[in-house]
Chain A
Amino acid sequence: DIQMIQSPSTLSASVGDRITITCRASQSINVWLAWYQQKPGKAPKLLIYKASSLESDVPSRFSGSGSGTEFTLTISSLQPDDIATYYCRQYKKDFPFIFGQGTRVEIK
């Protein structure tokens, strides 16, 4: 199975800060990676697909990059509405599909 390791597990930052979450795959997944945002009590929401493509209606302060085994999700200016847990998810055609363990983002 392809394993996905996210870091950090928790991130505390101030409004307006630039933050970065990292996701590492145990083998190359090319660019077949998605990022999700999940707020408490809600279903996840797709933010980024194909490593760097922004889903429609997602604010442009969110961006993704990377390929192969290392990927990042960046929020250029953290907003209060961004408080959530973020998950990466690989979708290389190699079952099972695996989510990262999640990164909880808090406001300092």
Chain B
Amino acid sequence: QVQLVQSGAEVKKPGASVKVSCKASGYTFTSYYMHWVRQAPGQGLEWMGMINPSGGNSNYAQKFQHRITMTSDTSTRTVSVELSSLRSEDTAVYYCARDHGGNWNYEGYWGQGTLVTVSS
């Protein structure tokens, strides 16, 4: 069965960077895009971008274009997202989510979420 296990909670100061990882199992890692979605406290879901673990090409939401990097490591079946220049508004739960399947990109399987708190 598909399993996505994310790294633990982080507390960062404004201006710092954070890297959240997501270890996948139960399927062919390189066959499905992985998305990153975040949710600020009490707010809705916000799509940040997606990465093709086979080759590493990615698409980012314009909002994050200059401070986000998504990577994948096929040897460890892990994808990661790094967000730099953190501000208080980046406090959120960050989810990785695998494509459902087929040729269309939408989230079918989700990780448990990682809380990132940005506070001085």
Contacts and interface: CB of A to CB of B under 8 A. Distances in A.
Q: Are A and B physically bound partners?
A: yes
Interface in B1-53: 35, 37, 44-47, 49
Interface stretch (A17-25, A66-74, A75-83, A87-95): A87-95
B81 to A, nearest CB: 15
Contact of B106 (A49, A95, A96, A102): A49
Contacts of A44: 37, 45, 95, 97, 107, 110
Given A43-B110, A46-B107, A91-B105, A96 B100 contact: no
B99 to A, nearest CB: 10
B84 interface: no
A62 interface: no
Chain B binding surface, main DSSP class: strand
A46 B106 CA distance: 9
A93 B109 CA distance: 20
A85 to B, nearest CB: 8
A102 B47 contact: no
B107 A101 contact: no
Contacts of B107: 34, 36, 44, 46, 89
Determine the interface band of chain B, counting residues with CB < 8 A from chain A.
20 to 34
Interface in A37-81: 38, 43-46, 49-50, 55
Given A46-B100, A87-B44, A102-B45, A95 B61 contact: yes
Given A46-B100, A96-B61, A96-B62, A91 B44 contact: no
17 contacts: A32-B104, A36-B107, A43-B111, A44-B95, A44-B97, A44-B107, A44-B110, A46-B100, A46-B109, A87-B44, A91-B104, A96-B47, A96-B62, A97-B35, A97-B47, A99-B47, A102-B44
Interface of B: 35, 37, 44-47, 49, 59, 61-63, 95, 97, 100, 104-113
Given A55-B108, A91-B104, A102-B44, 8 more contacts: A38-B45, A43-B112, A43-B113, A49-B100, A87-B44, A89-B107, A95-B61, A100-B44
